[in-house]
Amino acid sequence: MSKNKMIYGAGGAVLAISFIAFIALAVREDLKDGKASTSQKENVGGIPAKSAPAKKQNTTVGREDYEAGMALYEEGDYVEALECFLVSADMGNTAAQDMLGTCYYKLGMCYYNGGKGLDIAPVGQTAIQCEEKDETMALECFVESAQRGCADGQYQLATCYYNGDCIKKDVPEALKWYTKAAEQFHAEAQYSLGRHYERNARSRRDMEEAVKWFRRAAEQGHAKAQYSLGYRYLSGEGVKQNSAEAMKWLRKSAEQGYWAAQLQLASCCANGIGGRQNMAEAIDWYRKAADQGSAIALSMLAECYKTGRGVEQDMAEAVKYFRKGAELGYAGAQYSLAECYRLGEGVEKNMAEAAKWYRESAEQDEMEAQIRLARICETGDGVEKDLQEAIKWYTRAADHSDSEALDALKRLGVDYRYLPARQREWQEKLRRQREKQKEL
């Protein structure tokens, strides 16, 4: 669509105006004049917005403009659709008034995405053509949509406030709008509320609030909420522990393809949680999660092949899956792959390759990998002998209060107590732990 469109106004006159100027005019004038609403309600982020008008159901007046707006809306042309709805709504068409909130939301998303349109726009089309993202216009549209009672608009406005996106971060304001959307059965808003209370829980009441919103979203089929609800039934946080309920919700989520639920369900099946142990089903769910690129699932599948648990033991297959997990950056898989190279299990023994993967894992603070790498550097097995490098990795492991690493440092003549303050703090932590054990 060109930047200069022929727009029909309320009086039927043809107006040829700039595309961007028209949008600014359509949004800002509607905000200012209140043609589709009776009064200004409140300012949100300094932007005036109004409550939705009191409606007497009337879909006969302005019907032609409303139908034209719907046709344009279905085509993804929210610019002209909005103009038609504004005209129809001004005549008193309640259906058009209802559509304004949705139209403002979708128009806002177009501005927010910088002309990329919406995921739900028709295939091969963009809703509007903006040269770049316009956060100011996007926010104005979201505010207008939210104030008109559109749940999608309320959710998007809440998300902007929560993340400080397009507007200064304001969590209380975000929660207000999330709640408004959630009360209209907006599943994503319900899930967002659950996640907020879960992440910021300071009491059991907070966790109960999280579970409440997870449940509401889960009952609407929200896969992540189903997983979160199932997980809380497993942990007993915010709700009474119930393995059967946990399995029910985890299965619902897993069957929708959510990898985290598939991974958790596999673990439950493997350990007989919520029912009898079922390794065949566990392997199936591990495989499904692994197929989606879950590095942990790949590593767990590798362990099954390594030990012959649920599948025929096959170290070559184990190495294959450990490698996939390692290449995805999972420290546990990197350590396990290094062990395979060190021991020559499922692959030809190669200490240089082992050292490489130990290092990858150690740099992610995997303590066992730090110990192994330190030993290799100390002995020069597969790499050039380097005592300073060995001391470095023993020290990193000692930061975890590892007694073997502390003993190794002592053997190499390094007094851990006189290393930098960060390490000394860990030494003090170890001392307190030992004193506590003596008391027991």
Lowest mean pLDDT among 15-24, 182-191, 216-225: 15-24
> What is the spatial distance between Cα 411 and Cα 429, in angstroms, rounded to a whole number?
21
Domains and CATH numbers, the chain: 1-162 (no CATH), 302-440 (1.25.40.10)
Higher-confidence residue: 197 or 55?
197
Phi, psi of 364 (to 5 degrees): -95, 15
Range with the largest mean pLDDT of 31-35, 90-94, 256-260: 256-260
Cβ–Cβ under 8 Å, residues 425 and 400: no
Q: How confident is the model at residue 77 (pLDDT cuts 50, 70, 90)?
A: confident
Per-residue pLDDT, 34: 38
Which whole number is the average pLDDT over 80-109? 83
Q: How confident is the model at residue 401 (pLDDT cuts 50, 70, 90)?
A: confident
Per-residue pLDDT, 119: 41
Q: Give the residue among 148, 134, 125, 18 at the shortest CA–CA distance from 78.
A: 125
Question: Does the pLDDT of residue 343 top 50, yes or no?
Answer: yes
Phi, psi of 38 (to 5 degrees): -90, -25
Q: Which two tokens stand for residue 201?
A: 């829980």
Per-residue pLDDT, 37: 34
Q: Which two tokens stand for residue 193?
A: 């509320």
Q: Give the residue among 261, 263, 260, 236 at the shortest CA–CA distance from 251.
A: 261
> What is the spatial distance between Cα 433 and Cα 400, in angstroms, rounded to a whole number?
12
Query: DSSP class of residue 166?
Result: S
pLDDT in tens, 253-286: 999 999 999 999 999 999 999 889 999 999 999 9
Which whole number is the average pLDDT over 328-335? 96
Question: Does the pLDDT of residue 370 top 60, yes or no?
Answer: yes
Question: Does the pLDDT of residue 124 top 60, yes or no?
Answer: no
Lowest mean pLDDT among 101-110, 224-233, 274-283, 328-337: 101-110
> What is the spatial distance between Cα 440 and Cα 50, in angstroms, rounded to a whole number?
65
* 50 bridge partner residues: 40
Per-residue pLDDT, 23: 37
Range with the largest mean pLDDT of 13-22, 105-114, 366-375, 392-401: 366-375
Q: Which long-range contacts (C-beta less than 8 Å, at least 24 apart) are formed by 197-203?
A: 198/228, 201/237, 201/238
Per-residue pLDDT, 32: 38
Question: Does the pLDDT of residue 215 top 50, yes or no?
Answer: yes
> What is the spatial distance between Cα 165 and Cα 159, in angstroms, rounded to a whole number?
8
Q: How confident is the model at residue 127 (pLDDT cuts 50, 70, 90)?
A: very low
pLDDT in tens, 182-192: 999 999 999 99
Question: Does the pLDDT of residue 336 top 50, yes or no?
Answer: yes
Which whole number is the average pLDDT over 307-329? 96
Percentage of the chain lying above the pLDDT 70 cut: 77
Per-residue pLDDT, 109: 87
Tell me the H-state helices in 236-383. Answer: 243-255, 259-271, 279-291, 295-307, 315-327, 331-343, 351-362, 367-379
Q: Which two tokens stand for residue 352?
A: 């240089």
Per-residue pLDDT, 83: 85
Cβ–Cβ under 8 Å, residues 91 and 61: yes
Q: Which two tokens stand for residue 137?
A: 């216009």
Which whole number is the average pLDDT over 15-42? 35
Residue type for position 276:
R
Higher-confidence residue: 341 or 79?
341
Per-residue pLDDT, 257: 96
Q: Which two tokens stand for residue 76?
A: 């993804």
Per-residue pLDDT, 427: 60
Per-residue pLDDT, 269: 96
Per-residue pLDDT, 133: 78
Buried b (16+ CB within 10 A) or exposed e, 185-200: ebbbbbbbbbbbbbee
Mean pLDDT of the chain: 81
CA–chain centroid gap for 334, Å, is: 25
Residue 179's CB is within 10 A of a number of other CB atoms, namely 16
Question: Does the pLDDT of residue 115 top 80, yes or no?
Answer: no
Question: Does the pLDDT of residue 103 top 50, yes or no?
Answer: yes
pLDDT in tens, 138-160: 999 899 999 999 999 999 999 99
Structural Rg of the chain based on CA atoms: 30
Cβ–Cβ under 8 Å, residues 321 and 299: yes
Q: How confident is the model at residue 47 (pLDDT cuts 50, 70, 90)?
A: very low
* Residue 238: partners with Cβ closer than 8 Å, 6 or more residues away: 201, 204, 206, 207, 208, 209, 210, 211, 232
Q: Which two tokens stand for residue 92?
A: 């008193």
Which whole number is the average pLDDT over 403-415? 88
- What counts of helices (H) and strands (E) characterise the chain? 21, 4
Question: Does the pLDDT of residue 122 top 50, yes or no?
Answer: no
> What is the spatial distance between Cα 377 and Cα 287, in angstroms, rounded to a whole number?
37
Which whole number is the average pLDDT over 2-24? 31
> What is the spatial distance between Cα 141 and Cα 184, in angstroms, rounded to a whole number?
19
> What is the spatial distance between Cα 116 and Cα 132, in angstroms, rounded to a whole number?
9
Which whole number is the average pLDDT over 20-43? 37
Q: How confident is the model at residue 434 (pLDDT cuts 50, 70, 90)?
A: low
Higher-confidence residue: 20 or 65?
65
Q: What angle do CA 396, 399, 402 make, to 5 degrees?
A: 95
Buried b (16+ CB within 10 A) or exposed e, 27-49: beebbeebebbeeeeeebbebbb
Cβ–Cβ under 8 Å, residues 150 and 103: no
Lowest mean pLDDT among 15-29, 131-145, 282-296: 15-29
